[in-house]
Chains A and B, each alone.
Chain A
Amino acid sequence: MDQLLVFINAYLVPGIVSGSIYALGAIGLTLLFGVLRFTHFAHGDVMTAGAYFALTAIGLFGLHPVLALPIAMVCTSALCLCINHFFYRPLMRRPSLVLTISSFGIALMIRASIQLLYGVESHYYVRGIQRSTDFLGTFRIVDRHIWIVCCAIVLMVALHLLLTYTRLGKAMRAVSDSPELARLTGISTLAIVKATWVIGGSLAAVAGVFLGWDGFIQANMGWDLLLPMSAAAILGGLGRPYGAMVGGLVIGLAEELSSYPWFGGDALLSPGYKTGVAFTIMVAMLIWRPNGLFGGRVQ
């Protein structure tokens, strides 16, 4: 019983929390890949930007991190639209490699701007520590983890509804399936691209805020998360938003659970190699199932 509690509190819950954060980031990555056909390497830094927008809002108005989410989402979406307008759109007709490389440049620009404006030190949304609440007398969960997981679920359900039941969602899926056919049927690709940036940017902002809330806010935070996020997107199949949701959770859980002492005494894998787990999964997927678990756009 005691062992089960340790498993839930120290391995399962953190795994689900980081999995939710990876999933939110990976959805944006995968949606952008579906519509624009390039891997957006600046996505991690877009997350960081979202975290800093929320930091500013919290600093100015003394908001709760959850209430700062809408502000961060709006500002990050605006940032993404600007980046798209000034950098990616002029390059749209070039080979996708050009876009990929330029997204590296954008990543550096965002990070450097943040470092100029906010400095290189770590920042926090909430000072001090939050003692965990006891649930049913046994589970000990910190409030913010409940917030993070609930918000992530709400956003994913909202995205599902949007993709399935609205004209915009259907158009997005159409463009993702075949841009040429979609254009022929009269769908404005430009509008869809913009909508994708807004959705991807907003979700990245939420992921960034959650990441900062659970740890600390630093200019490198998003960039450091790019690897597990890409792994999640590839695992689910690039271009597949539902795949990215599952992929994020799988990567998050795999990282945490790999260090659980499954066979008695010692950790199965030294926690020092956690980062390697995401990388291994990504490489293995690329070798054996490059289309992802659910069949992606890469052939």
Chain B
Amino acid sequence: MQKSYPKLVTSTALCLWLVVSQSSAARADIRIGSLSALTGPAADLVKQVFAAEQAAIDEINSAGGILGQQATLISADTACNAQVGVDAANKLVNVEQVAAIVGGTCSGETIPAASNVAGPAGVLMVSPVSTSPEITKLDDKGVLFRVVPSDNFQGIYMARMLLSKGITKVALTYVNNDYGVGLAEAFRTAYLAGGGTIAGDSVHEDKKESYRAELATLAGGGAQTLVLFAIGDSSGLTIMRQSLESGLFEKFAVADGMKVSALLDGIGAENLEGRIIGSVPTAAVGPQSDRFKELYGHTDKFTFGYTFTAQGYDAAMITALAIEKAGSTDRRAILNAVRDVANAPGEVVGPGDWAKAVQLIKAGKDINYSGAAGDHEFDENGDIEGVFAEWTVKSGEVVVSPAVALGR
């Protein structure tokens, strides 16, 4: 061991030199990080979101790039897990030296990544997926923005949706993470205030084999409908399957996390027919979303219309515009430019308008990015107002109703 010590030092030094030289060689490009749960329970959904982010970066590169340079999107996997998420954010911020970050995805990874890594380093994060209400009050030193509405709004929307359908007694179960707990709190408050009764209310742990014990307790309350806040290719799927199999619940009310293709494939659309209603933050309908559909409705870059893909595209666009506006990859300048490019006033630019936006910025004009998923007017917490839609399964397919705006 004593003898090999100098050798070890030499080889470590060599490795370090290689790493350093590699990264400085690649630093000619504009480097943007993508903090995404590419593996783990949300992988199905996040894969599509990441593809949409990549599509935006590709579009920017073919329209001249950011600050005249090619942009690269560097992904770091968070596995939808707080600890892995912090490691991934550290890697992006300190090793890859990215200018800004698109992401995170799962709220449970976004919160610690923003408060422990990106916040202290002053690196912009624009999340396309994280909906937890916790994020609003988070001490992130102003680095975290999101292009999805807080679950405070989604919880209220769901409560109103159920009450308007005359469903006044439900059982509630939610996954034990920032997403599930936040959504459940917002829903519980709004539903009880609206005159509903919650008969059975329990949290559940993700990734278990059996939820029959939880379900039996919940069904004991006598409710017909189960409100299920979980992710559709993980505990959400298992719970739905086991309650149908054992005949404990036949009707489900769910949120955005369940609108994934794995749920329909796994349970079978025929078994969900008329049994499920859900809410989903959705894209506002307008000229910008039409333009987005025109650009990406018929490509194979990502599944068009998949949950949060429009938001993924917008998050990448806003990040890129902020860098362009900042005029350099200085992290503080980028952070200060976000509201300039995304909020009114200013000339409206949208999907497919990269070249135009760059010209306007160069001419010193103020721009207002209005994206595929909505206007994205950030408030002082980096939050936006919400647009929601109701979805259900009819004749083997997911049917989404027209959107309803719900704001502060």
Contacts and interface: CB of A to CB of B under 8 A. Distances in A.
Chain A complexes with chain B: yes
Interface of A: 6, 9-11, 13-15, 17-18, 21, 115, 119-122, 124, 127-132, 140, 142, 211, 214-216, 218-220, 224, 256, 259-261, 267, 270-275
B267 A271 contact: no
Nearest to B241: A129
Contacts, number: 117
A224 to B, nearest CB: 5
Given A115-B39, A274-B208, A275-B208, A130 B245 contact: yes
A272 B209 contact: no
B403 interface: no
Contact of A224 (B207, B220, B270): B207
B209 A122 contact: no
A9 B202 contact: no
B127 to A, nearest CB: 20
B11 to A, nearest CB: 19
A10 B246 contact: yes
A275 B217 CA distance: 18
B188 interface: no
8 contacts: A13-B212, A21-B209, A121-B47, A128-B271, A130-B245, A271-B202, A271-B205, A271-B211
A296 to B, nearest CB: 26
B213 A272 contact: no
Given A10-B213, A124-B266, A211-B209, A272 B204 contact: yes
Nearest to A5: B216
B129 to A, nearest CB: 16
A259 B213 contact: yes
Contact of A127 (B202, B213, B266): B266
B209 A215 contact: yes
Given A121-B47, A122-B44, A219-B39, A275 B205 contact: yes
Nearest to B266: A124
Contact of B237 (A127, A140, A216, A273): A216
Given A120-B38, A122-B233, A129-B267, A214 B176 contact: no
B210 A17 contact: yes
A218 B210 CA distance: 16
Contact of A11 (B176, B204, B212, B267): B212
Given A127-B268, A216-B266, A121 B43 contact: yes
A142 B210 CA distance: 13
Contacts of A121: 43-44, 47, 233, 262
Interface in B85-110: none
Interface residues of B, number: 40
Contact of B246 (A9, A124, A220, A259): A9
Given A129-B267, A261-B217, A272-B203, A9 B245 contact: no
B203 A270 contact: yes
B267 to A, nearest CB: 6
B130 interface: no
Residue of B39, B40, B47, B267 with most chain A CB atoms under a 10 A cut-off: B39
A260 B213 contact: yes
A139 to B, nearest CB: 11
Interface in B236-284: 237-238, 241, 244-247, 262, 265-268, 270-271
Contacts of A214: 209-210
Contact of B271 (A129, A211, A267): A129
Residue of B44, B210, B268, B270 with most chain A CB atoms under a 10 A cut-off: B210
Contact of B210 (A14, A115, A122, A273): A14
Residue of A14, A131, A211, A256 with most chain B CB atoms under a 10 A cut-off: A14
Nearest to B233: A122
B386 to A, nearest CB: 28
Contacts of A270: 202-203
- In order of increasing CB-CB distance, the 9 nearest A-B pairs are A10-B216, A128-B268, A14-B210, A120-B43, A122-B233, A10-B212, A272-B203, A271-B214, A121-B44
Interface in B6-36: none
B288 interface: no
A51 to B, nearest CB: 13
Contacts of B79: 220
A45 B268 CA distance: 28
A9 B212 contact: yes
